[in-house]
């Protein structure tokens, strides 16, 4: 049974779990986030498991989508996502994700994200389509 309480938790538990911190959301359709690659997210080889990196990109792109919507009160649901893992990420590394809307309308938005490590190396590239749905004020 779906929840009846339609309030939105900000920040969401997923962002809190990942330790995400918003650095910039001043430009509509663009957000910048930081996260430390916590050892809790490591795979057996000591590198960060890709799902956590994908979640970092997803949350960042979702936030960019909401800033793109500006004053409209909407929910943004990820309809599909493609992730390319370009370099392994060691625990303790500080990551920065820049997410931006490439194209969008009133019902769908296409966004991309790039995650770089503390040395400025690109470790992940992602793209996603988000579906927008109005929410009550």
Domains of the chain: 13-134 (3.10.129.10)
Model's pTM, two decimal places?
Answer: 0.89
What is the secondary structure of 71-131 as a DSSP string? TS-EEEEEEEEEEEE-S--BTT-EEEEEEEEEEE-SSEEEEEEEEE-TTS-EEEEEEEEEE
Query: Counting Cβ atoms within 10 Å, is residue 58 exposed (0-12), middle (13-18) or buried (19+)?
Result: buried
Instruction: Label residue 16 by pLDDT band (50, 70, 90).
Output: confident
pLDDT > 90 in the chain, percent: 77
- Confidence band of 136 (pLDDT split at 50, 70, 90): confident
């Amino acid at each position: 049974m779906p929840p009846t309480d339609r309030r939105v938790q900000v920040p969401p538990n997923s962002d809190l779990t990942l330790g995400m911190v918003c650095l910039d959301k001043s430009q509509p359709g663009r957000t910048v986030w930081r996260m430390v690659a916590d050892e809790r997210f490591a795979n057996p080889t000591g590198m960060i498991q890709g799902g956590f990196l994908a979640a970092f990109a997803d949350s960042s792109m979702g936030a960019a989508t909401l800033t793109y919507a500006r004053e409209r009160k909407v929910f943004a649901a990820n309809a599909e996502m493609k992730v390319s893992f370009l370099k392994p990420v060691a625990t303790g590394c500080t990551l920065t994700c820049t997410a931006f809307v490439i194209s969008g309308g009133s019902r769908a938005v296409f966004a991309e994200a790039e995650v770089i490590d503390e040395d400025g190396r690109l470790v992940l590239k992602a793209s996603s389509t988000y579906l927008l749905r109005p929410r009550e004020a």
